[in-house]
Amino acid sequence: MIQIYNNIEEINSKAADLFAASAQKAIAEKGKFTTVLTGGSSPAGIYKLLASDAYKTKIDWSKVFIFWGDERWVPLNDDLSNAKMSYATLLSHVPIPAENIFEMYKDGVTPEDFAVTYEQSIRTVLGDEGKFDLILLGMGDDGHTASLFPREAVLDEQNKWVAAYYLAPQSMHRITLTAPLINKAEKIIVVAFGEKKAHALKEVTTGVYNPSTYPMQLIKPVSGELLFLVDKNAAGAN
Ligand SMILES: O=C1O[C@H](COP(=O)(O)O)[C@@H](O)[C@H](O)[C@H]1O
């Protein structure tokens, strides 16, 4: 389902409301909330809102378990780190235990080896079902999501839950949750705003199925819900 909003503030507010509601429901039903944060420029406003006084008391952060959808293979203090942005805007401002946060990077190991470790961490917290309560995703102007980039072999991955690979156009390694794992989630929210996303959004939602070019098309929950929160510019409604 696609919901179109007037501006980014409205998107942020809706996403924060949905995050809080998912957390409350999961904690009431299961005693914990497992979620995946996205990187890039789109989610910072959502994270700041969740860290604000109005929202942070709505969630029992001691029962929240944080993973990431993808990461550039850079240390936490690097400005390219998705985790660095998430700490700066959210995680350093809420009472979440450090052991509940699963950063997608570790010094001194290869990204490929760490992908195996990260999958094991997910299995430890979620069990072998691998069903996250809520996954937040962004979408690049090229239709990529997480680190599922156009024409990369990772798009064909069927078995691994987490994969790492060298992304030649960016001259860096990426580590990412794979589409089969993402699609197990209870709820997936994709946030996209700005006219630079309009072409990809149109292709992803109404174009011919061609995930090699528009990897976001791989995101099709098995039994959960997929919701796009977009602004008028991304929706091409202006
Ligand atoms: O490389 C990435 O880009 C996408 C989209 O980012 P945005 O800046 O256009 O919002 C993001 O979802 C992903 O986490 C990030 O690593």
- Picking from 37, 236, 50, the residue whose alpha carbon sits closest to that of residue 146 is 37
Residue 207: per-residue pLDDT: 95
ipTM above 0.90, yes or no: yes
Q: Compute the distance from residue 83 Cα to the ligand 1 centre, in Å.
A: 12
Mutation pick for ligand 1 pocket among 12, 36, 42 (CB with most ligand atoms within 8 Å): 42
What CATH number is given to the structural domain containing 150? Answer: 3.40.50.1360
Instruction: Tell me the pTM.
Output: 0.97
Q: Point out which residues pair with 102 in neighbouring strands.
A: none
Residue 61: per-residue pLDDT: 98
Contact by Cβ (8 Å): 155, 132? no
- Structurally, how many domains does the chain consist of? 1
Is the pLDDT at 238 greater than 90? The verdict is no
Separation between Cα atoms, residue 39 and residue 139, nearest integer Å? 10
**Domain extent for 147:** 2-237
Mutation pick for ligand 1 pocket among 37, 70, 74, 81 (CB with most ligand atoms within 8 Å): 70
Residue 237: per-residue pLDDT: 64
Express each pLDDT in 76-100 by its tens digit. Answer: 999 999 999 999 999 999 999 999 9
Q: Compute the distance from residue 138 Cα to the ligand 1 centre, in Å.
A: 5
Ligand 1 atom, smallest distance to 42 CA: 10
Q: Which value, in Å, is the radius of gyration of the alpha carbons in the chain?
A: 17
- Picking from 22, 103, 104, the residue whose alpha carbon sits closest to that of residue 63 is 22
Is the pLDDT at 27 greater than 90? The verdict is yes
Mutation pick for ligand 1 pocket among 8, 11, 12, 38 (CB with most ligand atoms within 8 Å): 38
The residues lining ligand 1, judged by C-beta closer than 6 Å to any ligand atom, are 38-42, 69-70, 82, 137-140, 145-147
129: helix, strand or coil:
coil
